[in-house]
């Protein structure tokens, strides 16, 4: 009876909402494809650790730079195709069990620790370091080095190919049961307590944010206690 009910529901969606039906089927096929490819082309388990029953739509969602970066995803979590978790240098990304990562990008060179039952909305960004200098002269020299060292290169450049920059940063800590709203940004040094909601469009800077708070604004502040 349960199977007949599911088939009936699928037929209703196909008849009345064909675009939604096709999106759903495509999503399930992506999960299935990754499940098949994981034993053959999956990430190095010494760099990326996936817990039990992690559902992943694309292998390229997870990237850890050898030899020291690490990523771990807790049991029963779901990672959709638009999610991107990138760890560089000595970066660490840890996601707790039963988390749902949608359209989110997490970039780490220090440590990003996320608790259990975390959920992200669309276009969420988390980063634990500064990628570029603040002063324009240093930033200009960094960009010259980036452009000079980039390949392919069609003509010689007069700039050095290296620029000394140690990516200053501070770890990010997010507690259990946190909801990150659409278009929010969480930056280095942010420590968000259990049960918080980061409102749509909020920019969370370094600091301690108490549990069960709603954070809103740029820069974000506590606007309500749940």
Please provide residue 58's backbone torsions phi and psi, each rounded to the nearest 5 degrees: -145, 135
Structural domain boundaries of the chain? Answer: 1-41, 45-131+167-225
Cα radius of gyration rounded to whole Å, the chain: 21
pLDDT tens across 4-39, in order?
666 666 666 667 777 877 888 899 999 999 999 998
pLDDT tens across 92-126, in order?
999 999 999 999 999 999 999 999 999 999 999 99
Residue 17 Cα distances to 12, 29, 113, angstroms: 8, 19, 39
pTM over 0.85? The answer is yes
* CATH fold label, 45-131+167-225: UDP N-Acetylglucosamine Acyltransferase; domain 1 (2.160.10)
Give the whole-angstrom CA distance, residue 104 versus residue 78: 12
């Amino acid at each position: 009876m349960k199977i007949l009910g599911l088939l009936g529901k699928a037929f209703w969606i196909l008849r009345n909402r064909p675009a939604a039906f096709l999106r759903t089927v495509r999503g399930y096929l992506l999960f299935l494809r990754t499940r098949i490819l994981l034993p053959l082309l999956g990430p190095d388990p010494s760099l990326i650790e996936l817990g039990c029953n992690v559902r992943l739509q694309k292998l390229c969602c997870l990237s850890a730079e050898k030899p020291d970066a690490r990523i771990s995803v807790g049991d029963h979590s779901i990672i959709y195709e638009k999610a991107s978790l990138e760890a560089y240098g000595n970066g660490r990304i840890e996601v707790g069990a039963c988390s749902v990562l949608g359209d989110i990008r997490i970039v780490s060179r220090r440590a990003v620790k996320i608790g259990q039952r975390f959920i992200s909305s669309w276009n969420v960004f988390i980063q634990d370091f500064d990628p570029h200098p603040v002063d324009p002269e240093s930033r200009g020299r960094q960009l010259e080095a980036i452009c000079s060292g980039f390949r392919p290169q069609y003509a010689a450049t007069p700039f050095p190919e290296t620029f000394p920059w140690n990516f200053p940063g501070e770890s990010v800590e997010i507690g259990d049961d946190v909801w990150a709203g659409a278009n929010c940004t969480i930056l280095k040094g942010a420590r968000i307590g259990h049960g918080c909601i980061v409102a749509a469009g909020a920019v969370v800077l370094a600091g301690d944010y108490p549990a069960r708070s709603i954070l809103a604004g740029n820069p974000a502040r506590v606007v309500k206690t749940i």
